Structure 1
Amino acid sequence: MHDVVLVGGGVMGCLSALELLHAGCRVTLLERGELGREASWAGGGIVSPLYPWRYCEAVSALADWSQGYYPPLADTLLAQTGLDPEVHDCGLLWLDHDEQDQALGWAAAHDKPLQRVDTDFIYRQVPQLASGYSGALWQAGLANVRNPRLMQSLRARLSQFEHFVLHEHCAVDSLLQEGDAVVGVQCPAGRIEADAVVLCAGAWSGDWLGQAGLSLPVEPVKGQMLLYKMAPGWLPSMVMAQGRYAIPRRDGHILIGSTLEYEGYDKRTTEQALASLQASAEALLPDLARQSPVAQWAGLRPGSPDGVPYIGPVSSLPGLWLNAGHFRNGLVLAPASCRLLVDLMLDRTPEIDPAPYLPDARLR
């Protein structure tokens, strides 16, 4: 396999491209908008599922592999591009109570350093928290990555490869086929032939594959976020309660997220979400009530059943591959997903069992 076309320029497309280029392939990446400006830009960047014990083993396997990948990736990208993805290993404090036993059982089974902590620990770790918390779960070393900067550094790194071509504002019109085989794409840039086409178009993947006569249950799910600005180091760790989180960046920005809305492709922000997210922010961190958010935005997640992505070949259309449907965990699952995809494409022994993700048995 020498020539590959990737449809979608988010973290899946970019990391897949990087893996393929390292393997000596020629890669063309097509993005309907701007590279890295959809869900990969909009999310919070926690390098973990929000409540990892709620997920099946298929999601856990990808997350476990990926969590150790980000620190060296960030170091390498910084050295190669001068752009720091800012992997910040500040730890995460879960303030919910009703799943602690389940969570600790999961942690023991997966050898995770999750521990139950008391009131004294909670307020030593995050003094800014609202009063009244008597117990929590804590995982030291859990990181977040500043995803907009990750995407900037990936773009810069990909542009250094001689055999990489990027077309932005270039929505694919159709697949090129010879019989049942996929041999490329037709797009505004022209006819692009390839040995393989990879669909990694995030929330648009289901509709896109529907044009090829296949039903992929991936749909857009809107998430809205708020951003505050405090002094660097003001919030020492990430905190999570009742499905909402606060994420500190190194420069003092605090992300508050997020909503979960089934509104199709509507990315407009709303006053209702603003009020809800502000209420969550102030309930967690009362000092934020004296601050106004500096930004509000929305992104579209690629929703899928159980959050298990589709990774692998589409046998009814030889030459077409999928890397899509990661729902709320695209960033944390991306390194493992892209490595698995390229292992399968290049007929290498996969580092992760591919069976739970193969599309054929799951496509309708």
Structure 2
Amino acid sequence: MSDFLVVGGGVIGMLTTLQLADAGHSVTLVERGECGREASWAGGGIVSPLYPWRYSAPISRLSAWSEGRYPELALRLLEETGIDPEYRQKGLLYLRVDEEAAAMAWARDLGKPLERVSADFLYAKEPAAAPGCEEALWMPTLGSLRNPRLARALSTRLQAIPRVTLLEGCEVERLEARGGRVDAVKTGRGRYRADQVVVCGGAWAASLLASVDVNLPVRPVKGQMIQFQAPPSLVRRVVLMDGRYVIPRADGRVLAGSTLEESGFDKSLSATARESLWASATRIVPALADCAVVHHWAGLRPGSPDGVPFIGAVPGFTNLHVNAGHYRNGLVLAPAATRLLVDELLGREPIVDPLPYRLAGPLPG
């Protein structure tokens, strides 16, 4: 029996497992499919909320802590696995922002570099950006990751740690509880037990907790994206305009996203979404109209009522915990969200106040 059993092999589940293993604990990670192939794979990899000044303080606190950890994490994984997550700190350009005062106030409060820049600065940084902009907002410290490679690097690292048991293609059917304690996790391949159980099931977290009569207000929210094959350096950094964005990769590929769709667990693709994404991407960078769209996909974000994730002990249970509901910011918040929960699990001083992320209800006595 392991010290910990983690349900869900996305970035949240894998980082939780890695931190627990780093602390010397045995961990079983159970994933219904392939690790990192759901929301963690489908997102864009921007290491910041899109418009960070629109978010509440609990999200800003986690985001600020996380952003500074990704360079170190990317280097560690590259050294340990040979897989490069391609962390790129090239900054972000915001075009046509109509809430500049709020953005600048947010930046001052957090000590975050953000400045208004001229057209000359904008087009020196991004010559192919939408023409006719007289100014932009510039966040020089923003980074991005190639999230599928981050997920592959994390999975590869976990497989090399002897005290980690990684079970892929192992769907959890239900949690089995008695007397305020989870006795076992029932899967299609049998029952697994651990001293402590952590649910990191993303959009599926609510159904997992429902098996022990816990109501977790997390729902799937579909997002579709497309990818262009562009010449290297056509787009050099993340550019955001009118709620849509383009994200360059080192090999010239450019991601464009994304939609927000309330359609349950349906991940089907639509021509309407593809056309909308193509139109917004070619407004941001008109030269993308001459580039082929080589991929179109969808993923399911774990939506929560106000975007603030649920992190901590599940009320009424002595050994059940959750880390889910990160909505559009799972990758952004992952280092801090997982560290916060691991601190709680191991009795360490938390990095931020854990109260805003707790599930409502009395904790077990």
What TM-score bracket applies, with the shorter chain setting the length? Answer: over 0.9
* Residue in 1 that maps onto 2:113: 113
Deviation at 1:176, TM superposition (A): 2.7
Q: Within 2, Cα distance between the matches of 1:361 and 1:307? A: 19
* Residue in 2 that maps onto 1:247: 247
* Paired positions, count: 363
Matched, 1:19 2:14: no
Q: Which amino acid aligns with 2:39?
A: A
Question: Which is worse superposed, 256-265 or 165-174?
Answer: 165-174
* Residue in 2 that maps onto 1:309: 309
* Residue in 1 that maps onto 2:100: 100
Q: Within 2, Cα distance between the matches of 1:241 and 1:37? A: 28
Verify the 8 A CA contact 2:175 2:209 in the aligned structure 1: no
Verify the 8 A CA contact 1:2 1:24 in the aligned structure 2: no
Alignment of structure 1 residues 1-364 onto 2, 5 Å: 3-361=3-361
Q: Which amino acid aligns with 1:235?
A: V
Deviation at 1:361, TM superposition (A): 4.4
Q: Cα RMSD over matched residues?
A: 1.4
Deviation at 1:231, TM superposition (A): 2.1
Q: Within 2, Cα distance between the matches of 1:351 and 1:2? A: 26
Verify the 8 A CA contact 1:49 1:332 in the aligned structure 2: yes
Q: 1:285 to 1:362 in 2, by over 3 A?
A: farther
The C-alpha deviation readout for 1:233-267, integer Å capped at 9, x for no partner, is: 22111100111000011111100000000000000
Q: 1:362 to 1:10 in 2, by over 3 A?
A: farther
Q: In structure 1, list runs of 5 or more residues that go unmatched.
A: none
Deviation at 1:339, TM superposition (A): 0.5
The C-alpha deviation readout for 1:15-53, integer Å capped at 9, x for no partner, is: 000010011111111111111000000000000000000
Q: Which amino acid aligns with 2:130?
A: A
Q: Which amino acid aligns with 1:151?
A: A
SS of alignment partner, residue 306 of structure 2 = helix
Q: Which amino acid aligns with 1:287?
A: A
The C-alpha deviation readout for 1:95-128, integer Å capped at 9, x for no partner, is: 1231111100100000000001111111111100
Percentage of identical aligned residues: 52
Q: Within 2, Cα distance between the matches of 1:63 and 1:255? A: 22
Deviation at 1:292, TM superposition (A): 2.1
Question: Which is worse superposed, 189-198 or 79-88?
Answer: 189-198
Q: Within 2, Cα distance between the matches of 1:239 and 1:361? A: 42
Q: TM-score, normalised by structure 1?
A: 0.97
Verify the 8 A CA contact 1:97 1:135 in the aligned structure 2: no
Question: Which is worse superposed, 15-24 or 351-360?
Answer: 351-360
Q: Within 1, Cα distance between the matches of 2:166 and 2:38? A: 16
Q: Which amino acid aligns with 1:191?
A: R
Question: Which is worse superposed, 333-342 or 349-358?
Answer: 349-358
Verify the 8 A CA contact 2:158 2:166 in the aligned structure 1: no
Deviation at 1:2, TM superposition (A): 5.9
Q: 1:142 to 1:268 in 2, by over 3 A?
A: same
The C-alpha deviation readout for 1:205-258, integer Å capped at 9, x for no partner, is: 112212221211100000000101112222111100111000011111100000
Q: In structure 2, list runs of 5 or more residues that go unmatched.
A: none
Structure 1 stretches of 4+ moved >4 Å: none
SS of alignment partner, residue 177 of structure 1 = strand
The C-alpha deviation readout for 1:43-79, integer Å capped at 9, x for no partner, is: 0000000000000010000000000000010101101
Question: Which is worse superposed, 329-338 or 233-242?
Answer: 233-242
Verify the 8 A CA contact 1:183 1:319 in the aligned structure 2: no
Q: TM-score, normalised by structure 2?
A: 0.97
Verify the 8 A CA contact 1:184 1:195 in the aligned structure 2: no
Q: 1:20 to 1:241 in 2, by over 3 A?
A: same
Question: Which is worse superposed, 210-219 or 9-18?
Answer: 210-219
